[in-house]
Structure 1
Amino acid sequence: MKVDYFDYYLVHSLRKKTYVKMVDLGVITYLEKEVQAGRIKQLGFSFHSSFEDFRYILHSRAWDFCQIQYNWLDIEEQAGRAGYELATEHGIPVIVMEPIKGGSLLSLPPHLKEQVQQVAKEDSIAALSLRWVAEHRNVPVILSGMSTLEHVVENIATLSDPQPLTDEQHSALEKVGSYMRSRLGNGCTSCSYCMPCPFGVDIPGSFDIWNTFRLFGRYEQIRKRWESMGDKGPLSCTRCMTCVSLCPQEIPIPFDLARVHEELSQGAL
């Protein structure tokens, strides 16, 4: 690596099962020795599992930081708000990833987008979402995926002097977020850790079509995508369960795929 030490060393995507295995293999002990030797200044972990797993890992040792998915929609997903608050209680800084949920918070149904944009005023929904995260005092770093120069310029402008949200803005995001959580079939983030499926099922694609259908409620919007799935659709699932242990969200994938087929085959909610 041609460096004498790491300022921040992050153990990627921990959950209880993988953490226990790393302890058993001596990985955590090794990393702690590297900390003591000064070759790692700050030791932390990123996380995509349940709050219960997060609490177990957080309490297992004195971590220097953690990284979680957190935005105004995912307050009950993964570590969520409870995880943020627990880390804050223990004085552990929280790095936030997915503040705009991979851009999906910008692709709201028209009636919801109108509600959010109305209170965002001159801000974009992206800027409002970043400001929501920036309000949390125990967040030193916000990770935002940017694919254009315009994204970079807007994010710098937003976070150079982030203004707190108004009561009206908080209320609108809570209302829209609550509605969306009640409609989505599951919390798939299309991370693709479950892929490739040994039987060819496009798992993230199936869930994306399903959640789009449940959120927008208009079958014609996704009919062509659904019909083009062919052998990559949920019917090819054999319930081998290979994907279940790979999913950081701990989604019961085979059973949700059955729900996808049932609802989309009927073409109505």
Structure 2
Amino acid sequence: MVRTKDILELLNTIAPFDIAEDWDNSGLQAGNLNWEVKKIIIGLDVSMSLMNAAKQNNCDLVLTHHPLMLRAEKFIDFNKMPGSAIEIAARHGISIVSVHTNLDKANDGLNDYFAKKIGIKKTKGFLIENSSSMPANELIGMGRIGYLNSPSVLKQLVLQVKENLNLTHLRVTGDMDLPVTSVAICTGSGGSLLDDFLESGADVYITGDMKYHEARRVEEYSKALIDVGHFGSEHMVVDLLFDKLSRVVQKAGYNIQIKRFKKEKDPFTIV
């Protein structure tokens, strides 16, 4: 019988939990390590729509990128999140597990997947780290810096990113004729790595959730910024986790069904 703790062990081989940021809450969010797991559903966020889908599809485990909780709750109210998700988990025996910054930082994790998606090659890390649970030759750290297949200009890169990520819009800072060779990326909210980008040799920073004054700083350095949004940089995590978890589940010989939740949308609408 496969249990929640067995799935956590498999996820630890994909994205070691010990490399997660100290402020993060990766791992078991709610549930029971000994509950049996026969069916898993994967999403970006722990939402009521995802929890209801898990219930309707008789799933035993919900796997997400973003944690259910990032800070301690003073009380749990079943009428609102995160309590409403916890109530469904408790009533229907559904464990909730998240792999957040550990997946962002891991070798061949979300940042590497995002880089390949938008055509960035030969990546190296912004903030390279070491982990006892990962081989010394594997890249671990927040963000990546890489190179385009051939030199370009900002306008062409913007169009390439929009097409590759299937985005209808994004925000850009910088001269559209700026020559571009090297690109820095950080999935999710990349403001914390802005200084690292500005001090790097990269021409363009592709990330999400950038603020006005951060964009002004990019201008001051005569560099460029492409803000694809938080959702735009991370929604592909569902496919990444599906592929990687399917492989390790098969290798372990577990008979588990894995389902992707594809009904999530960007919470922002441009009008």
Scaled by the length of structure 2, what TM-score is found?
A: 0.30
Structure with greater proportional helix content? 1
**Rg (Cα) greater in structure:** 1
Higher relative contact order (CA 8 A, sep 6+): 2
Structure with greater proportional strand content? 2
Scaled by the length of structure 1, what TM-score is found?
A: 0.30
